Amino acid sequence: MSRAAGALLLLVVMVVSAMGFWLAGGDGPAPAPPRLAASTPAAPPSSPPAGATHAAAAPEAARAAEAAGDAGYDRCMALALTDPERGVTEARRWRAEEGGDAAAHCEAIAHLRAGDGEKAAALLEELGQTGFAPRDARAALLAQASQVWLELGDLDRAYGATTLALALRPEDPDLLTDRAVIAASANRFEEAIDDLTRAIDLRPFRAEAYVLRASAWRQLRQPALARDDIARALSREAMNQEAWLESGLLRHDANDAAGARRDWEQTIRIAPDTATAALAARNIARMAEGAAPSGAQQPPPRGAEQAIPRPPPSPPRR
């Protein structure tokens, strides 16, 4: 399985896990995301009874409509996860019947489960831009679209989707870090540094942004600035593997082979069964062979670590 296919499958698995929590209405400290339901047409006019009976009728009808929408979403999502080709067909039929954001989201997941990341990302991006979800939920959908675009190797679409998310949440350090990773992947290191500097200003206690900025400084051949950021990162998180890996690269560039080896050995000691440790071990072997080491590994945007949120109902058409 390719890296992109594996990442897409991981997103699907996380959607399934989160769905159970949301359906149960979780008891954790953070409120559960809004439920997704289909848009429902307005009820035809009738002659309601007077008094209390009339007052109770509207909420009862609203609850019934919401339950019907939830049931439709759950059926569509179950089909999307177990038989994605049929899930796409069902979601499209439901969209034609005014299924709204719920149907569009179901279709996106069906495409994702079927391995068609391009269509899934396009639908998630559309939901993030035009859906009826709150701003935070739409920003999360755009971040998910960005992650899928990145896994597909479309850096321009990934960067654009994260930029749209930042328009909704401009002071989000995670989104800034995500966009910096995408920019660095496209060798746009100055832009990456700008976003990482903003992220650091917002959360100066986190080591990750310092490590990533150090890597960008190294790529721009600014070793003094890179070493300063590594020192800041390690002062905040002394056992940060990526910081030690990057430190070894900086020492290797400065022709300090012994220091590079010590840093990479420390990287391995921290957590030997990780991709970062494997990269450090490979660098030690390559240095012994006289070959250049591999660059520091950049973490994927947080889109891969979050479940796709469920937007709220679309308003009924008039």
pLDDT for 19 beyond 90: no
Q: Which residue has the higher pLDDT, 19 or 109?
A: 109
Per-residue pLDDT at 59: 57
pLDDT at 39 over 70: no
Cβ atoms of residues 213 and 229 within 8 Å:
yes
2-6, 57-61, 171-175, 209-213, range with the lowest pLDDT? 2-6
- Quote the crossing angle between the two packed helices 52-82 and 84-96, to the nearest 10°: 150
Query: pLDDT grade, residue 1 (50/70/90)?
Result: very low
Question: What confidence score (pLDDT) does residue 150 get?
Answer: 94
- Work out the pLDDT band at 318, boundaries 50, 70, 90: very low
Q: Does residue 312 or residue 92 have the better pLDDT?
A: 92
In CATH terms, the fold of domain 1-40+62-169 is 1.25.40
For the domain made up of 171-304, give the CATH fold.
Answer: 1.25.40
CA dist 103 and 123 (Å) reads 11
Q: What percent of the chain has pLDDT over 70?
A: 71
Q: What is residue 206's DSSP assignment? A: -
Confidence tier at 60 by pLDDT (50, 70, 90) = low
What's the rounded Cα separation, in Å, for the pair 178 and 197? 13
Which band of pLDDT confidence, cut at 50, 70 and 90, is reported for residue 133? confident
- Assess whether the region 1-40+62-169 and the region 171-304 belong to the same CATH fold: yes
The pLDDT of residue 31 is 30
User: What is the distance between the alpha carbons of residues 260 and 256, in angstroms, rounded to a whole number?
Assistant: 6
Within 8 A by CB and 6+ apart from 68, the residues are 38, 40
pLDDT at 298: 54
How many angstroms separate the CA atoms of 277 and 87, rounded?
Answer: 40
Q: How far is CA 67 from the centre of its chain?
A: 29
- Decide if 161 contacts 142 (C-beta within 8 A): yes
Rounded to 10 deg, the angle between the 189-202 and 207-219 helix axes is: 160
Give the tens place of pLDDT for each residue, 68-109: 557 788 999 999 999 999 999 999 999 898 888 989 999 999
The continuous run of DSSP H or E covering 243 comes out as helix 241-253
Out of 7-11, 29-33, 141-145, 235-239, pick the least confident.
29-33
Tens-place pLDDT, residues 268-305? 999 999 999 999 999 999 998 887 787 755 554 454 44
Which positions ≥6 away from 45 have C-beta within 8 Å? Answer: none
pLDDT of residue 66: 55
Q: How far is CA 88 from the centre of its chain?
A: 22
Has residue 214 got a pLDDT over 80? yes
pLDDT tens-digit readout, 147-201: 999 999 999 999 999 999 999 999 999 999 999 999 999 999 999 999 999 999 9
138: left (phi over 0), alpha (psi -120 to 50) or beta: alpha
More confident residue, 40 or 255: 255
> The tokens 């007077």 sit on which residue?
50
User: 86 φ, ψ to 5°?
Assistant: -65, -35
Q: Could you state, in order of their start, the residue ranges of all structural domains in the chain? A: 1-40+62-169, 171-304
Greater confidence (27 vs 108) lies with: 108
Average pLDDT over residues 4-16: 44
The C-alpha atoms of residue 271 and residue 273 are separated, in whole angstroms, by 6
Q: How many CA atoms lie within 13 A of 123 on its CB side?
A: 24
Helices (H), 25-51: none
